[in-house]
Amino acid sequence: MRAADQALIVIDVQNDFCPGGALAVAEGNVIIPRVNALMAEFPVVVLTQDWHPPTHSSFASNHPGKAAFDSVTMPYGEQTLWPDHCIQGSNGALFHPALRTDPADLIIRKGFRPAIDSYSAFFENDRTTPTGLEGYLRNRGVTGVTLVGLATDYCVAYSALDAARLGFAVTVLLGVCRGIDLGGSLTRMVDQMRAAGVALED
């Protein structure tokens, strides 16, 4: 068992991000056995869950004339448009059936505000609206977090960068993540995590 001040944060291991899903990450399901095993090692376990309304502004379907993976400018900055995914109450939004959820102390749902996307487990994409995760971890006495899940170059990386910015010691287990790699995003975000002091391990 890890020290009492360590938490495992499992990012978005949901049906829509796994093979066959609406926004499938290649081999997204392959990491699940190791994720499940890691849960037994940490005294604090948090799962995150993308949880979008059908009207979400990050969906290409809500922008006439736009296609998935196009970009638009939102009040908070550039936003990639995605296929409809992880819609509240849908099968795609559910955790993958092979993922253990019983060890989770907390499930953080994100992306439920229609007008703003949320990659990070800590903040919406405006980088200021909090999810509440920081306060929970502080109250539990957590000083270090280890992140695994989907996708490396989006929700995992943004969560890791925010955690480092907030002063947590951050480790990302790259072997227990899988990426989308949209236009070189995987290399770019791995480099950003390294530059921010995130420990990158397998």
Reported as a single tens digit per residue, the pLDDT across 3-32 is 999 999 999 999 999 999 999 999 999 999
What is the chain's alpha carbon radius of gyration, rounded to the nearest angstrom?
A: 16
* Catalytic residue status for 155: yes
Using 50, 70 and 90 to split pLDDT, how confident is the model at 140?
very high
pLDDT tens, position by position, 128-138: 999 999 999 99
Which residue in the list 18, 86, 155, 177 is annotated as catalytic?
155
Distance CA 197, CA 33 (A): 28
pLDDT tens sequence across 38-89: 999 999 999 999 999 999 999 999 999 999 999 999 999 999 999 999 999 9
pLDDT tens across 151-177, in order? Answer: 999 999 999 999 999 999 999 999 999
Active-site entry in 50, 110, 153, 162: 110
Percent of the chain past pLDDT 90, that is, above it, reads 100
Give the pTM.
0.97
Catalytic residue among 12, 16, 50, 84: 12
E strand or H helix that includes residue 170: strand 169-178
End-to-end CA distance of the chain: 19
Active site residue 86: no
**With contact defined as beta carbons under 8 Å apart, do 10 and 143 qualify?**
no
Neighbours of 3 (CB within 10 A): 10
* Cβ(188)–Cβ(195) below 8 Å: no
Q: Please indicate whether residue 12 is annotated as part of the active site.
A: yes
